[in-house]
Amino acid sequence: QVLLVESGGGLVQPGGSLTLSCGTSGFRLEHLALAWFLQAPGKEREVVGCIHSSGNALYRDHVKGRFTISRDNSKNTFDLQLNELEIEDSGVYYCAAVLGPRCYLHDKADAYHYWGQGAQVTVSS
């Protein structure tokens, strides 16, 4: 069983930065494709970016250049660095994992088998 535990999140002003971390256990991280999802109020959970087992990351257009996903297989962790935050970035962020080497930006939430508990990010002045 793969377990994901998130940390980070909080309240930040527009233009600010946050880091979300996801620690994993139960499976070697290098065998997993990983993703970060955002569930904004009243909306479906949508992927904001994902990272192949190779370390190559993909991003939705609206976060490109602002968000960065990284992974450390030796520590079984992966992070989401959020910069230049906008009010529209607010919501609950979830880390997610699926067995296999590749991830896809068109994947829906049901493509992922393992989930973190979620971390609230509120961007407000």
Residues 71-119 pLDDT 10s: 999 999 999 999 999 999 999 999 999 999 999 999 899 999 999 999 9
Is a pLDDT exceeding 90 seen at residue 51?
Answer: yes
pLDDT given for residue 15 in this prediction: 98
Q: Tokens at residue 125, please?
A: 């002045």
State the Cα–Cα distance between residues 59 and 57, nearest whole angstrom.
Answer: 7
Q: How confident is the model at residue 7 (pLDDT cuts 50, 70, 90)?
A: very high
pLDDT given for residue 28 in this prediction: 87
* Cβ-based neighbours of 16, under 8 Å, separated by 6 or more: 85, 123
- Asked if 6 contacts 20 with a C-beta cutoff of 8 angstroms, the reply is yes
State the Cα–Cα distance between residues 47 and 62, nearest whole angstrom.
Answer: 11
